[in-house]
Amino acid sequence: MENEDLEEKKSRRARFLVYKVMQKADTRRSKPSWLRVKMSKLKIKIGTRLKKLRKGFSSTMFSAKADFCKQMACALNSCKFLVHAKQGHIVGTLPPVF
């Protein structure tokens, strides 16, 4: 160790650093805590429920909008004769008030 050349020092230092990095990698691979596993499963469950809720809401809004459009079209079709009819024809179809 007293008279080591420069290349040998660099090599030994590099081996030491590689050893330290490998040790850190091994400690990180340890089994995750049960709390972390539970939290990740809960996040997944909440995410899927939110996605289902959002899809259900959008489909409900779409169907409500479609129903409203159908009702309006039906109402306009039923009132179409008022727009295109002559005034005398409308008065003739109305029942007398008295």
Residues 6+ apart with CB under 8 A from 90: 82
Contact 34, 42 (CB under 8 A): no
Between the alpha carbon of residue 72 and those of residues 28, 62, 63, 96, the distances in Å are 64, 15, 14, 29
Give residue-wise pLDDT tens across range 48-92: 898 888 888 888 888 888 888 888 888 877 777 666 655 555 555
In 3D space, the residue among 15, 40, 25 whose CA is nearest the CA of residue 7 turns out to be 15
Residue, of 68 and 4, whose pLDDT is higher = 68
Residues 6+ apart with CB under 8 A from 4: 12
Please tell me the predicted confidence (pLDDT) of residue 18.
Answer: 94
